[in-house]
Amino acid sequence: MSTALDKMFRPRSVALVGASDRSPWSRLVHANFSRIGFEGNVHLVNRRGADAHGQSAVKSCRDLPEVPDLAYIFVPNEGVAEAVEDTSAAGIRNAMILTSGYAETGTDGDSAQVALVQRARDAGLRVLGPNSLGFINYADRIPVSPTPLMHDWLSGPVAIVSQSGATTQVIASFAQQQGIGLSYAIATGNEADVSSADVLDFLADEPQTRVIAMFAETINDPPAFRQAAQRARANGKPVIVLKVGRSELASKLAQAHTGSVTGDDRIFDAVCRQDGIIRVGSIEELVTTAGLFAQGGPIDGGVAIVSISGGACEIMADVAVDVGLSLPQFAPETVEKLQGCIASYGGTLNPMDITGAAVVDPSLFETVLRIVSDDPAIGVAACVYDLPRGETDYLHEAALRHIGNGLRAGRRPGFLVNQALRPVTAASRGLMEDLGIPAVIGGVDLAVRAFAAAERWSRTTASALAKPMTADTPSERPSSEREALDYLEKKGVRIPPRAFALTAGEAVAAWRAMGSPVVLKVASPAILHKSDIGGVRLNLNDEAAIVTAFGEIIAAAKSAYPGAPIEGCLVLPMREPGLEMFVGTAQSAWGPVIAAGLGGVWIEALADTSLRLLPITDADALAMLSELRGARVLDGYRGQTAADRDALAAAIRTIGDAALALGSDLVSLEVNPLRARGADVEALDALAIWGDP
Site for a second copy in 10-39 (CB under 8 A): 24
Residues contacting residue 265 through CB under 8 Å, at least 6 positions apart: 243, 245, 246, 248, 249, 252
Smaller CB separation from a second copy, 244 or 564: 244
Q: Which residue in 177, 548, 587, 641 binds a second copy (CB under 8 A)? A: 177
| Residue 315 in contact with a second copy, rule: CB under 8 A | yes
Which string of b and e fits 546-570 if b means at least 16 CB within 10 Å? Answer: bbebbeebbebbeebbeeeebbbbb
State which of positions 252-271 bind a second copy (CB under 8 A): none
- Give the C-alpha separation, 423 to 396, whole Å: 17
Binding test (CB under 8 A) with a second copy, winner from 224, 606, 623, 647: 606
Piece in contact with a second copy (CB under 8 A), picked from 159-167, 191-199, 200-208, 675-683? 159-167
Binding of a second copy by 632 (CB under 8 A): yes
Confirm or reject binding of residue 652 to a second copy (CB under 8 A): no
Contacts to a second copy from residues 285-314, by CB under 8 A: 287, 308-312, 314
Helix-, strand-, coil-residue percentages of the chain, each rounded to 5: 40, 20, 40
C-alpha span between 137 and 139 (Å, rounded) = 6
Q: Which is nearer to a second copy, 351 or 568 (CB)?
A: 351
CB-count burial class (<10 Å; 0-12, 13-18, 19+) for 3: exposed
Output DSSP code: residue 472: P
Q: Which of residues 96-155 bind a second copy (CB under 8 A)?
A: 100-101, 104-106, 109, 148, 151
Near a second copy by CB under 8 A: residue from 31, 58, 377, 421:
421
Give the Å distances, CA to CA, from 345 to 97, 113, 348, 368, 512.
65, 69, 10, 15, 77
Closest to a second copy by CB, 283 or 547? 283
Nearest CA to 29 among 148, 171, 152?
148
Q: How many positions of this chain bind a second copy (CB under 8 A)?
A: 76
Q: Which CB sits closer to a second copy, 223 or 356?
A: 356
Q: Which is nearer to a second copy, 422 or 575 (CB)?
A: 422
**Where in 234-253 is the site for a second copy (CB under 8 A)?**
242, 244-247, 249-250
Q: Which of 21, 63, 82, 322 binds a second copy (CB under 8 A)?
A: 322
The answer to whether residue 397 forms part of the interface with a second copy (CB under 8 A) is: no
| Residue 71 CB burial class (10 angstroms; 0-12, 13-18, ≥19) | buried
**One residue of 72, 457, 550, 602 binding a second copy per CB under 8 A:** 602
**Closest residue by Cα to residue 306 from 357, 381, 370:** 381
281 interacts with a second copy by CB under 8 A: yes
| Choices 34-42, 405-413, 421-429, 464-472; region in contact with a second copy by CB under 8 A | 421-429
For the chain, the straight-line distance linking the first and the last C-alpha, in angstroms and rounded, comes to: 32
The H or E element that residue 322 is part of is helix 310-323
Closer CB to a second copy, 342 or 488, in the complex: 342
Task: Give, to the nearest 10 degrees, the angle between helix 222-234 and helix 196-205.
Answer: 20
CB-nearer residue toward a second copy: 542 or 635: 635
Is residue 75 classed as helix, strand or coil in its secondary structure?
coil
Per CB under 8 A, contacts with a second copy among 567-596 are none
Report whether the peptide linkage leading into residue 693 is cis, meaning its omega lies within 30 degrees of zero: no
Indicate whether 364 belongs to the interface with a second copy (CB under 8 A): no
Work out which of 637, 664, 665, 691 binds a second copy, going by CB under 8 A. 637
In this chain, which stretch among 222-230, 515-523, 626-634, 648-656 interacts with a second copy, using CB under 8 A?
A: 626-634
Q: Determine if 217 is a binding residue for a second copy (CB under 8 A).
A: yes
Return the residue of 564, 604, 678, 691 that touches a second copy, per CB under 8 A.
604
DSSP secondary structure letter of residue 16? E
Q: Is 108 exposed, middle or buried (0-12, 13-18, 19+ CB in 10 A)?
A: exposed
- Between 230 and 419, name the residue whose CB sits nearer to a second copy: 419
Neighbours of 642 (CB within 10 A): 15
| Number of C-beta neighbours around residue 545 at 10 A | 17
Site string for a second copy, 61-100 (x = CB under 8 A): ---------------------------------------x
Single out the residue of 158, 633, 651, 652 in contact with a second copy (rule: CB under 8 A).
Answer: 633
Please say which residue, 157 or 443, places its beta carbon nearer to a second copy: 443
